[in-house]
Chain A
Amino acid sequence: MSLNLLTGVFGACCTPNWSADREAVELVVETKSISFETLRELEKCEVFAERLTSESNSKIQSAFNSGKPGELPKGTQFMLRLPRIVSGNVVAKDLKDLLSIASTTYQTPKAYYLVSVEDSSKPFCFTEQSSLSAATPYVRRYHDAVALWGALEAQAEHSVLDTRNILFFGIRRTELSPKFTIAELREGVALTQISGFINESDRQETRKEIFQSVISEFLQDQKADRAFGYLLRQSALFARRLKEGLAIFLSEHSPEKLAQEAQSRYLKLAEQLERIVGGMEAKSLSIPAAVLFAVKEAEIGARFTTLNFVIIIATFLYLITMLIMFLSQRVILNTLKTTITKTTGELKEKGLDERNPILADSFAKLESRRRHTQIGSRFILTFSFVPLLVVVYSVFWATPPTSHRNMIELTSTNSIQIIQSPNIPVIPMTEDTNPEQVVDLPKTVLVPDSTQ
């Protein structure tokens, strides 16, 4: 079962007369007879012999139909009905005719026979990949073109099912239709270079990005219908652009460049962290100051006095301010954490080894500092409650401090002796200044200690 048998059939006949749709060809046996077996074998490839007429054998059609051995003698006219189904067999006049069949531009037929290939004027039969060893350059390029389309499809970001168009969204939207003509096969297709670029396992993602960018740039002025043809014509240039794109990428991502970039990123992140730490230091100093100020000014144990109320509100507002600042710092610290992780990952992806000092030391320490800063931030928030708590306690629950009174003792010499005593009841000052009361006063009167 092989289309190769057609070589013998066409070789034994005079110039074939093709039908307009190329689905049938009329032949006349000229040089040597053709056996029925050959024609019957061709039926397995869906090549059917019809309308057999011979002057020497008027019943040649029925003889052929009967399944018995026989042959077409010279002078026999007959018609071959030819298959043109890409998923099966195709018999075409030439490569141009083959390309006129729908879908042959993106898939090669399972088996096909070309009666005369353009660049050799000889027949060619393709049944398996090894057949290509005997193929003419045009035929090989046709297979390369179809293979290239397959590679493009694999790289495409989107494909349209009914038209088989493919789309890339690299720099701009680029659309390609699986269309090309034999004119695009005059030059070789740089399939090896392009496939090599795509299939190389190293930096697959990068290669894909470069491919999409290069193809978008390369075909920016081409319409979808002509894009693939143009790509075939300029495939060598396209392959060079891919190579150059990768070279540029690699130069931009050399170890030195990567280390410099890592250092730069580290410094930027460290600077951010430093700013947060600096702010925290200032805040941490404000806590004891706030405590001291509040406690000193508050009227201990005096409950709701105006001053106490003002101090409580002030310490409360201080707490709120510290809480807001804590929340703000927490967001920044979390963002910093994400940035450090992401930057580390990106640098690793770009090829920086994880044992590189920038990653292993600098970034690791940066993350450690960030963690500690976060803990410190929580501590500061906790201590921010202290002024309010202390003031509230002092005002409502603390025992008022004992006044140190000075005892003024009238002496016979009309002098005043001041005695310091801790256990004398407090007498309002107004009473002290009243001269009438002074008369009735005992010998010893109390005067508030103005030094306290």
Chain B
Amino acid sequence: MLRRLIAHQVIKKAHKTKVDLQLRDTALPVKSDVADDLFEQLRDSFQRRNPVAGAFLTVGNTQPRFQQILGRYVATDSEKAFVEFTKDAMTILGEEIANQQAATGGYVVFAEYLADGTTFLFAALLGTTAKPNFDKKLNLIASPGLDLDHLRHGARVRFDKVEDNETGVVLFISQQSSGASDYFVKFIGCEEITSPEEQGRNLYSALDSWAVKNDFSPERRGKLLQDAYTYWQGCHKNRSAMTLTAIANALNPQDSNALLSHLGAEGNLLAGEFPAPPPSVMKRFVKFAFNKSGLKLEFDRNTWLNKVIVNKTAKTLTISEVPDELIEALVGER
């Protein structure tokens, strides 16, 4: 539920150091469809970018400026304080962006909302893009509009964790790999800190609740977890990060957005991107899986591992008490 919304503008041309701020003095109305649409689109766009989890970067005992002003605002919790907080934040952003030669300005949107009983602050820097449109005389014109599809700078802060600066207090889109746009991360003053174990457990809980929510049968639930495990195996083997978009695509290709929205829900505490959790955490997802050289073998450990006999010397594998259907299927293959 959207509580407060405001937007400011930072004006800067590429390869210039001069930064102008155009600041709004009052919050935007939140009881409107436009505000809701904007906010929902921003959330979706943010989620699709697989934000990483982190915490405020504290040097010694000094908190970053953004955390300090946010802490003060959280303590006050008024609309006036919200506007002042965002203005102060814009000042910090202006200073950070001034040092970035290649950076250009844009609209900075701050949104405060309630989800799963917790208050969050969402901040995003939006660019504009020319979109085709018609004028009053039906001439085709390029109409400038917010580029919501290519959100590059955004962060989500969890209020209840700001004071203690717990891991996962901030979720942000990291552009550090491109090497040009880390000013927004510096503006927030955060760093990536993820607990893969926690993310693994959260993923399990999220998938389990998805199965309960959709009334999955035990077999389908098992397959859901199995697919997640298979995806994890690939990431773990390649030492690559797991992303919620990839998980959603792998587990629910028919309607990945629905699953992505579920996984990305604030209550699930899942980062959009996180390192592959250790096998000890992922073990619970699935009992056994093998897929190599054209042979795919999957079974529930509790049910089948006791019926699998491996003879290492003879290099044979015997599975006893297999279903009749499997025997018939294999006979049919011959």
Asked if A50 is at the interface of the complex by the 8 Å CB criterion, the answer is yes
User: Which of B202, B208, B218, B284 is A62 in contact with, Cβ under 8 Å?
Assistant: B202
**A21-56 interface code vs B (CB 8 A; 1 in, 0 out):** 101000000000000000000011010101100000
Determine whether B307 belongs to the interface, using a CB cutoff of 8 Å to chain A. yes
Tell me, in angstroms, the Cα distance from A161 to B311 when the chains sit together.
9
Cα–Cα distance between A87 and B302 once the two chains are bound (Å): 11
B284 touches A65 (CB 8 A): no
User: Contact at B305–A65, with CB atoms within 8 Å?
Assistant: no
Whether A102 and B306, one on each chain, are in contact in the complex, defined by CB atoms closer than 8 angstroms, is yes
Q: Assuming A58-B117, A62-B202, A81-B284, is B306 touching A67 (CB within 8 A)?
A: no
Bound Cα distance A64, B301 (Å):
25
Report if B205 contacts A (CB, 8 A). Answer: yes
Verify A65–B302 contact, CB threshold 8 A. Answer: no
Contact B197 A50 (CB under 8 A): no
Indicate if the CB atoms of B321 and A102 lie closer than 8 Å: yes
B310 to chain A, nearest CB (A): 10
Of chain B, the residue at the smallest CB distance from A58 is: B117
Say whether B334 faces chain A, with CB atoms less than 8 Å apart: no
Given contacts A162-B318, A162-B320, contact A62 B269 (CB under 8 A): yes
CB-CB nearest in chain A for B281: A43
Would A102 and B283 count as touching, CB distance under 8 A? no
In contact, B283 and A65 (Cβ under 8 angstroms): no
Q: Which of A23, A58, A66, A104 contacts B302 (CB 8 A)?
A: A23
Q: Is B267 an interface residue (CB 8 A)?
A: yes
Q: In the complex, which residues of chain B have a beta carbon less than 8 angstroms from the beta carbon of A62?
A: 202, 205, 267-269
Q: How far is the CB of B221 from chain A (nearest CB, A)?
A: 11
- CA separation between A50 and B205, bound complex, in Å? 7
Instruction: Check A103/B311 contact, CB under 8 A, given A62-B202, A67-B195, A81-B284.
Output: no
The CA of A161 and the CA of B302, in the complex, are separated in Å by 21
Interface status of A61 (Cβ within 8 A of chain B)? yes
Q: Could you tell me the distance between the alpha carbons of A102 and B166 in the complex, rounded to whole angstroms?
A: 46
| Cβ contact within 8 Å between A61 and B311 | no
Chain B residue with the shortest CB-CB distance to A109:
B306
Q: List A contacts of B197 (CB < 8 A).
A: 67
Tell me, yes or no, whether A85 is within 8 Å of chain B by CB.
yes
Q: Answer yes or no: A83 CB below 8 A from chain B CBs.
A: yes
State which residues 65-85 of A face B: CB under 8 Å: 65-67, 81, 83-85
Q: Is A171 part of the contact surface with B, judged by Cβ < 8 Å?
A: no
Q: With CB as the reference atom, state the residue of chain A lying closest to B205.
A: A61
Asked if B142 CB lies within 8 Å of chain A CBs, one says no
Residue B198 is within 8 A (CB to CB) of chain A in the complex? yes
B180 in the interface, Cβ–Cβ < 8 Å? no
B262 at the interface (CB under 8 A from A): no
Contact A85–B305 (Cβ < 8 Å): yes
Is A161 a contact partner of B318 (Cβ separation < 8 A)?
yes
Asked whether any CB of chain B lies closer than 8 Å to the CB of A163, the reply is: yes
Please state if A162 and B309 are interface contacts (CB–CB under 8 Å).
yes
How many Å from the CB of B91 to the closest CB on chain A?
Answer: 34
Q: When the two chains form their complex, are residues A103 and B201 in contact, meaning their CB atoms are under 8 A apart? A: no
Set of chain B residues within 8 Å of A51, measured between Cβ atoms: 208, 212
Give min CB distance, A101 to chain B, whole Å. Answer: 6
Docked pose: A65 CA to B268 CA in angstroms: 10
Contacts of A102 in B (CB 8 A): 306-307, 320-321
CB distance from B324 to the nearest CB of A (A): 15
Alpha-carbon separation in the docked complex, A103 to B303 (Å): 11
Which B-chain residue is minimally distant from A51 (CB atoms)?
B208
A146 adjacent to chain B (CB < 8 Å):
no
Q: Answer whether A48 and B284 are a contact pair too, CB < 8 Å, given A58-B117, A62-B269, A162-B320.
A: yes
Q: Which of B279-334 contact A (CB under 8 A)?
A: 280, 283-284, 301-303, 305-307, 309, 311, 318, 320-321
Which residue of chain B is the closest to A61 with respect to CB atoms?
Answer: B205
Closest 10 CB pairs of A and B: A65-B201, A102-B306, A84-B302, A103-B306, A162-B320, A162-B318, A48-B284, A86-B306, A102-B307, A65-B202
Q: Which residues of A contact B (CB under 8 A)?
A: 21, 23, 43-44, 46, 48, 50-51, 58-59, 61-62, 64-67, 81, 83-87, 101-104, 161-163
For this complex, 29 residue pairs linking A to B, each with C-beta atoms less than 8 Å apart, are A21-B302, A21-B303, A23-B302, A43-B284, A50-B204, A50-B208, A51-B208, A59-B117, A59-B267, A61-B205, A62-B267, A62-B268, A62-B269, A65-B198, A65-B201, A66-B166, A67-B195, A67-B198, A67-B201, A81-B284, A83-B301, A85-B302, A86-B305, A87-B305, A87-B306, A102-B307, A161-B311, A161-B318, A162-B320
